[in-house]
Amino acid sequence: MREREFAFSDADFQRIRRLIYEHAGISLHTGKRDMVYSRVARRLRVTGLDSFAQYLDRLEVQSEEWQHFVNALTTNLTSFFREAHHFPILQEHAQETHRRERRGLRIWSAGCSTGEEPYSIAITLMEAFGDRQPPVRILATDLDTQVVRHAEEGIYPAERVARMPEAQVKRYFLRGKGGMKGLVRVKPQVRELVTFKPFNLLGSEWPLKEPFDAIFCRNVLIYFDKPTQYRLLARFHPQLRPDGLLFVGHSESLAHAADLFRLRGKTVCVPVPRS
């Protein structure tokens, strides 16, 4: 077994677990110890510190390091049209809502990571409304400020779109040339539908004014313990229109929040009416 560059005690690991839970609500399983070492060790190298204890001492008094700490421990695994069964449901819901109410639609991608999810939403709605610019605004938020900046640019390795139909890629992406060869960029008409913002779901206030027709919060709840999940779902509930949809990840159950949401389909929920 290769010797580690930095000593990493049980006390260091437990302190990191406590700090990330207190600051971001993320519940780190004990099996994540190696992952935590690898990611936080990078911050030790950047800051020039010799031990986890020194780094964590600095973290508690140096506010500008907090975001780097959170970014390091945030997982950003995603892809275009991940959990593909959600998108036809969204398309039908958007078409029916617009036909019935003749108004613009609002959708929130909460935990948008590097942007594949909100751009998949935008493409779905562009196809739903044909040649017309879709009457929709998409808010895309994430705790990790670095991935939000990346998402705004909309630039990805070409292999990220390899599983999409070629006609769809041509319609919604630009292929890079010269120094950008091997990359694709989301076209401006898709990007302009999405507004990206850094956002802490567990922050004291949500500066959101109007309710949403759909909220995507997929593979986010799994990072929180059950009480924190419930608090978050209780905050989502009033942010959805009465007939709005909440999309969650394939491994996420809302059984402990049956008073807030009920299943309408596979990992698609609707809000329980307020009494």
Active site residues: 39, 142
Q: How far apart are CA 49 and CA 190, in angstroms?
A: 43
Tokens of 130: 């044909």
In angstroms, the CA 123 to CA 87 distance is 10
Q: Are 105 and 135 in contact (CB under 8 A)?
A: yes
Annotation: binding site:
76, 78, 82, 117, 142, 200-201, 218-219
| Contacts of 58 by beta carbon, 8 Å cutoff, 6+ apart | 47, 49, 65
Distances (CA, A) of 60 to 65, 185, 205, 220, 259: 9, 39, 23, 26, 38
C-alpha 267/C-alpha 107 separation (Å) is 17
Q: Residues forming the annotated binding site for S-adenosyl-L-methionine? A: 76, 78, 82, 117, 142, 200-201, 218-219
